[in-house]
Amino acid sequence: MTTIPPRNTWNSRAFVFGLLAHLSLVSCASANRNPNDPDNNLVEFQLIDADTMKPIQGAYVNAIWVSPTPAGKVNGSQCLQAALLRSDANGWVKMDGPKDSILEAPWIMVPGYESLRLTYFEEPKEQVHIISMGRREYEGLEAWGRALQDKGYELIDLPGHSSIEFRKSFNNIPRVKSRWSFTGSQRYFVTNRSPPGIEYITNVANACGPEGINIGLSEAQRAETGIRRGLQQVNIICDERWDTAKGGYRQGVSVSQALWLVEDPMENSKAWARMLQIIPNYDAARIMTRDERMAFCAWIQPFAEKQQ
């Protein structure tokens, strides 16, 4: 096992700032707000592949605008408008919210990608993508670790520590001035690379109730986002690296969402029953055997192909 000495994070004065940070972070002072968005409720993102620096088309951005909480109350705000937006050929999504509304942190799903969150180091100046794993997870999912090293990540493995890290510099990304300043509209993503269970596949079907306006959130459009999530889960389950995995990792959540391609999510029990006819001894609390994985993937592939 390769061991690379870690940088001295104490002396480096590192701080973490997600490039998908909550938009309200920039509203702490009016001077830090987006100059193009005086009321601070504009969705304006350009989604970019951090490896190629090219725009990403077809990403999903789910935004919710609510009314301010009445004075003297802890809650009581109402959902005014919800929208499901798609990035264009140049990676852009843009929509302004209702007057005097408050924009909640948008949910973003980019099929085949995960968000890029960077740790900034002052000495020397560097910005690094860090993927952390518990030692037990690393030892059980070692093939994913090797794949990260193939992508240029360094393994940081300190004897006696309960976790390990993989680190890669992304100095090609424009650096923000500070944690609280307006950082511009670019949001960066990398193709899926984290080991299973680290990255959550975001739900982007959030809508207002009858009190608000919904845009791009018909039942069919909301269901389509579930299909995209199900397809990503099929890719996770059918990854041949599982054949070398060991330990107690549970695949049940991924399987349940993959089965959305077979039956409506409200009929998930029917889909499970159909799957158990293919792999009758499967237990959601364990990793599929190689034979189970191959049988499952052969069975679900036609359902996935219908949704491509």
Please give the Cα distance from 158 to 248 (Å, whole number): 23
Please give the Cα distance from 63 to 262 (Å, whole number): 28
Please give the Cα distance from 226 to 254 (Å, whole number): 12
Cα angle 287, 229, 26 (rounded to 5 degrees) comes to 115
Instruction: Work out the angle between the directed axes of helices 290-307 and 219-237 (0-180°, nearest 10).
Output: 150
Q: List the pLDDT tens digit at each of the 308 positions of the chain.
A: 433 344 443 333 344 444 333 333 333 333 345 666 667 789 998 999 999 999 999 999 999 999 988 776 777 789 999 999 999 999 999 999 999 899 998 999 999 999 999 998 887 888 999 999 999 899 999 999 999 999 999 999 988 888 999 999 999 898 766 544 445 689 999 999 999 988 889 999 999 999 899 999 999 999 999 999 999 999 999 999 999 998 877 788 899 999 999 999 999 999 999 999 999 999 888 899 999 999 999 999 999 999 87
Three-state DSSP class for 135?
A: helix
Cα 264–chain centre separation = 23
Please state whether beta strands 126-134 and 113-115 pair in parallel, antiparallel, or not at all (unpaired): unpaired
**Of 101, 85, 117, 97, nearest to 21 (Cα)?**
117
- DSSP H stretches of helix in the chain: 9-12, 135-140, 142-150, 219-237, 252-258, 268-278, 290-307
Cβ atoms of 147 and 241 closer than 8 Å = yes
**Of 4, 47, 1, 45, nearest to 168 (Cα)?**
4
Token duo for residue 247 = 């330990």
pTM of the model: 0.84
